[in-house]
Structure 1
């Protein structure tokens, strides 16, 4: 039996790697696959409007909050045991989601699925450090970043296909056959990968961590869409976070077996790595989430076609992950690769922000997203491995889960910031620009629904078609000499005393004029809507650029340690 897993045959290492990659694909896919199935789930289970966001929020909050706990458990009980536990829990929760019978049951089962996902994520990123030396890791770590990026991007597309071709239940059931293939493989080929023979679980620390992180994530998930930043529910959650965080820090400093070793953050290098992971994680989802929305609202694309627009981002992420890993392995350090990559990401995000405009070819957006992917791609695996490389082997699981925790916390905060920007700009833009257009041309006489909020899709063609039907109906009433109602007069735009002096030709001319005015009005509002959406997305990409720039500064300040010195420090 081989005591050091790094001495295993390369063929066995690659088989273990394959099992870990498939597990990662499952866990990461379910973060986004539900998005396109949401309308069908909401319809079939009769979700209240206020509950819809919990389909995603429940998963992400529990997944992020429990990551450090699973990382600690994997150090104590072995990677294989925790990975298998996570896969079984994840699959069980997936079946329950497919069998959900009410909104509450679905939300609870999604939360359980998030807990299983956290066990998988906390384990798979640690495996590279378990079975490969620092010199070997960059060759393989890019695969993890590629799988994570691909699954995140294609999730909505896969969810849409499964929902359209079968039903939303298969969005969850598809996990079962994949697990059936990978689980026996992991049990047979993967060693326990346990680096500690003793230790205990810090239950108090785990409870305090959950009490800190869950309300914190809920604040960013619910504000400002559901609650204002300064509102009673948000302020209560802020108070809970501060109290629980204080208690958690005091407790973790005193315990011998902390869930998160706070002394890690006393090291300047580790702090900078965590900051880099947080800021790049915050920027990562800007294109994945908001470009499809932009294509639907501005280019009138279907959800599937909008998803295809983002696919080049995946190609850029995958290419950069693979190439950067090999390059870092050849050079013998990460910073000479990561710094140019993040610099390129800053330039690419800035280019999108400065050049995005209404009416440009959609393929040009895809090209720029490919460049963004090239820049951001290396950040996920490299920063994770840099954090893992900075500690001894007994803490690999803890640090791996901490890295994933920091990155997902960045995702959540980033989405909240971007969502606030989107809502604010659309509200102001349509409240000022849209209201001015409507006020100048007066379309209030039309019985046309424009959507529940400023973020809804503005369907100008549908509105014009509705207007034509209304005026055609009015023309028919006039021809049949029917008595016109107050609403008819408002639609016609004339006073009763003026109407009595108009003959048939004059009435028809007035209807034609009013219809032309209405079409112009709707077109102007649609242009304002598209211009406002463009401004919002440009601002989002500019904000993402600032986040990546902060991450770049943090990476530049990290002291570089060549791979050859790492192994001596960690043993």
Structure 2
């Protein structure tokens, strides 16, 4: 076990799994500094959230510019999610061991340089590789930011971390608009280059204002575990994407070998996690009623909600012929819905507990997905889709703060690692959803109708998670 010098990070006290150790209230003069720290890490999360949605708007333009099929150009979305899947748990553990600020700064540098390089990519293969590098930087932001905020907000960390749910909708508002504007007025390359000045400012602010945490490391980084997980997801993605060609069948040797490699890598990964003394994903965080249930919920939620969000602009353009800028603003409608209720959901979390807002939120997202798949009645296609997207946003705004904190309360002394694990499962779900959808769309004679049917499947998948919510350890009252 690694040892960490005493700082303000919450520690386990042997209390019940949902209990959070008592913290000393920060003096009034510390509040401005805490707010500044929160603002700085919020900039990083904002950039990450923008890049989760900004490419969706530009996907047809990238496809046309590079003469790439949709199932391969879709990798610009899925490889970003894969990079985050690998980076989040690893960054969570490293930031716990080596210091939040150091990991945060390295993440900012990697993200900024990769964004600059993406803007000058000359083919789809290069762009995909650079998006993977960009995702490693972006994926490391959330665990390190979670640790930084947790260190400085003490017993109020649940509300501060809950407000992260409002940052991503803001990125969801800005990202599609920026993406559509760049595609309409100039080029898709601008969606990456816009990150460069923001990233430089972020690095400067973090160097000056975020305090350095003192740590001492005694355990090794589990690179083998990272590699096995990467092979698992990458080979599964490649096999599914390969089916996108109309001439490829389910018995294609390339598909079968890719999926076989994924199965073997998955078996080796769990075998390794059981035997390695310090795996980058501790096996106790993968199973059991608490963690096992939340991991499965996050996986299905990522497929239904995050995967759906990445595909909305493509759906609007394919089925209804809506222009890129207008199609992008549909994600803005979803983000507005999230913002409308996220702050209220955070404020009410101590009274409602976790289960109720998750159940109501999931059902609301289900309704939005079903409406999205239907033929517009009495409204223009754009307005119909905007209303449906806003409804899904309301559901996400209700459910995300509760699901975020439900995982953290299971092991309050490992907040960064758990935040990374939570993001890993959500992004894994999104990867599967986008990979399968773009493959189906590539093979379909009617891409828009095919996506509508997939949205119905997403909705059913989300409803299937409701029984699992009742297994989530619930908690009310003061933490």
TM-score range, shorter chain: 0.7 to 0.9
Per-residue Cα deviation, 1:382-414 (whole angstroms, up to 9, x for no partner) = 323221221141x22221111000000111122
Name the SS for the 1:4 alignment partner.
coil
| Structure 1 residues 288 and 225: CA distance shift in structure 2, 3 A | farther
C-alpha separation in 1, matches of 2:227 and 2:60: 35
Q: Check conservation: 1:32, 1:156, Cα contact below 8 A.
A: yes
Question: Residue 407 of structure 2 aligns with which residue?
Answer: 387
Greater RCO between the two (CA within 8 Å, min separation 6)? 2
Question: Residue 197 of structure 2 aligns with which residue?
Answer: 177
| Structure 1 residues 368 and 156: CA distance shift in structure 2, 3 A | closer
Question: Residue 415 of structure 1 aligns with which residue?
Answer: 434
C-alpha separation in 1, matches of 2:143 and 2:67: 32
| Structure 1 residues 297 and 109: CA distance shift in structure 2, 3 A | closer
What value does the CA root-mean-square deviation take over the aligned residues?
Answer: 3.1
Question: Residue 220 of structure 2 aligns with which residue?
Answer: 200
Name the SS for the 1:306 alignment partner.
helix
Deviation, 1:54, is 3.8
Q: Check conservation: 1:61, 1:218, Cα contact below 8 A.
A: no
Per-residue Cα deviation, 1:237-293 (whole angstroms, up to 9, x for no partner) = 222122222222222212221110112233211111112111111111465344434
Question: Residue 3 of structure 1 aligns with which residue?
Answer: 7
Name the SS for the 1:406 alignment partner.
helix
Question: Residue 557 of structure 1 aligns with which residue?
Answer: 471
Is structure 2 residue 111 aligned with structure 1 residue 90? yes
C-alpha separation in 1, matches of 2:304 and 2:227: 30
Is structure 2 residue 33 aligned with structure 1 residue 12? yes
Question: Residue 23 of structure 1 aligns with which residue?
Answer: 44
Q: Check conservation: 2:289, 2:471, Cα contact below 8 A.
A: no
Given candidates 334, 344, 357, the residue that maps to 1:313 is: 334
Question: Residue 186 of structure 1 aligns with which residue?
Answer: 206
Deviation, 1:119, is 1.5
Q: Check conservation: 2:360, 2:399, Cα contact below 8 A.
A: no
Larger of the two Rg values belongs to structure:
1
| Structure 1 residues 17 and 242: CA distance shift in structure 2, 3 A | same
Question: Residue 112 of structure 1 aligns with which residue?
Answer: 133
Is structure 2 residue 371 aligned with structure 1 residue 371? no
C-alpha separation in 2, matches of 1:228 and 1:121: 39
C-alpha separation in 1, matches of 2:214 and 2:363: 38
Once the two structures are superposed, the pairs formed by residues 145-184 of structure 1 within 5 Å of their partners are: 145-152=165-172, 154-184=174-204
Deviation, 1:559, is 2.5
C-alpha separation in 2, matches of 1:43 and 1:143: 38
C-alpha separation in 1, matches of 2:49 and 2:242: 22
Q: Check conservation: 1:205, 1:259, Cα contact below 8 A.
A: yes
Question: Residue 396 of structure 1 aligns with which residue?
Answer: 415
C-alpha separation in 1, matches of 2:260 and 2:234: 13
Q: Which runs of 5+ in 2 are unaligned?
A: 10-22
Name the SS for the 1:273 alignment partner.
helix
TM-score normalised by the chain length of structure 2: 0.84
Once the two structures are superposed, the pairs formed by residues 454-465 of structure 1 within 5 Å of their partners are: 454-455=446-447
| Structure 1 residues 139 and 121: CA distance shift in structure 2, 3 A | closer
Name the SS for the 2:292 alignment partner.
helix
| Structure 1 residues 177 and 391: CA distance shift in structure 2, 3 A | same
Question: Residue 144 of structure 1 aligns with which residue?
Answer: 164
Is structure 2 residue 269 aligned with structure 1 residue 265? no
Q: Which runs of 5+ in 1 are unaligned?
A: 428-453, 456-532, 567-571
Name the SS for the 2:279 alignment partner.
coil
C-alpha separation in 2, matches of 1:544 and 1:141: 27
C-alpha separation in 1, matches of 2:202 and 2:436: 38
C-alpha separation in 2, matches of 1:246 and 1:286: 26
Moved more, 369-378 or 158-167: 158-167
C-alpha separation in 2, matches of 1:182 and 1:296: 34
| Structure 1 residues 243 and 163: CA distance shift in structure 2, 3 A | same
| Structure 1 residues 415 and 36: CA distance shift in structure 2, 3 A | closer
Deviation, 1:156, is 3.4
C-alpha separation in 2, matches of 1:197 and 1:16: 25
Given candidates 341, 346, 361, the residue that maps to 1:341 is: 361
Question: Residue 78 of structure 1 aligns with which residue?
Answer: 99
Per-residue Cα deviation, 1:480-500 (whole angstroms, up to 9, x for no partner) = xxxxxxxxxxxxxxxxxxxxx
| Structure 1 residues 138 and 315: CA distance shift in structure 2, 3 A | farther
Question: Residue 14 of structure 2 aligns with which residue?
Answer: none
Deviation, 1:229, is 4.2
Deviation, 1:347, is 3.9
C-alpha separation in 2, matches of 1:104 and 1:286: 22
Question: How many residue pairs align between the two structures?
Answer: 455
Name the SS for the 1:111 alignment partner.
helix
**Moved beyond 6 Å, runs of 4+:** none
Is structure 2 residue 458 aligned with structure 1 residue 544? yes
